[in-house]
Amino acid sequence: MILYPAIDIKGGKCVRLSQGDFAQVTTYSEDPLKVAKRWKAEGAQWLHIVDLDGARMGLPNTANLEVLRQIIRQVGLPVQFGGGARSAEIVERLLNIGVARVVVGTALAKDSTLAEGLFTAYGEKVAVGVDAKDGFVAIQGWVEAIGEQANVFVARMAKLGAKRFIFTDIARDGMLQGVNLISLAQVAAAVPGLPVIASGGVAGANDLDGLKSMQATSVRNLEGVIVGKALYANTITLPDALARLR
């Protein structure tokens, strides 16, 4: 299972939100590049980077994109990036600066024609961001619910050609309260054979052990997990986390 250390960028700084709430911001570093280099030095094979300003405004933030460029140039790890990618032009721009995989959520939920076009044009280079609150998909930086259940949404995206999904339980994100294994399993079951990446709620070793066990016994398409606050709050180290998922 692939572990993706999360680097959330707001105003050029590495931060974490609680449940996606911009009023609950904790700054962990003034220098996201330094953080990225640390994760590489500790064994990371991928990075998951989010432009929080872009997610909120609907367009990637210029200053945060410059941070992204520096990380791509100087760290040399493949980057999975989300936040404000709501058009084919922006996806193309992100890929051109070196992003390995662009996470798109809001635009896909609102425009099936765009979704099908992105999946056809970019295939594995686009991942569907499935952000759920009480089982229903939320968009626009997690503030607007669309009234569609997460498992229904992923099945619809799969029919349009989606290749990969990232499922986040908003209520668990940044809270260190454990992964919502039930919702994760339901989403993964709706798209058998397509990889699903878990996000939100990892508190420590027990959660990673649970995900690994789930992958081995029932949710075979669970491909990876994004870990953020647990690393920054030191409830688990990256080397230990990586060892548990091997």
Residue 220 half-sphere exposure, CB side, CA atoms within 13 Å? Answer: 2
Rounded mean pLDDT of 156-173?
A: 89
**Full-model pTM:** 0.94
Residue 108 half-sphere exposure, CB side, CA atoms within 13 Å? Answer: 33
Phi, psi of 169 (to 5 degrees): -90, 110
Rounded mean pLDDT of 11-29?
A: 83
Digit-coded pLDDT (tens) for 74-132: 999 999 999 999 999 999 999 999 999 999 987 898 899 999 999 999 999 999 999 88
3-state SS, residue 189: helix
CATH 3.20.20.70 fits 2-245, yes or no: yes
Whole-number Å distance between alpha carbons of 220 and 204: 22
Give Cβ neighbours of residue 52 (< 8 Å, ≥ 6 apart): 8, 9, 10, 15, 17, 22, 83, 141
Catalytic residues: 8, 131
Q: Where are the domains of the chain?
A: 2-245
Residue 19 pLDDT exceeds 90? no
Predicted local confidence at residue 67, as pLDDT: 97
Contact predicate 197/167, CB 8 Å: yes
Predicted local confidence at residue 20, as pLDDT: 63
Query: In sequence order, what DSSP letters do the residues of 110-130 get, joined into one string?
Result: H-HHHHHHHHHHHGGGEEEEE
Residue 192 pLDDT exceeds 90? yes
The region, left, alpha or beta by phi > 0 then psi within -120 to 50, assigned to residue 141 is: left
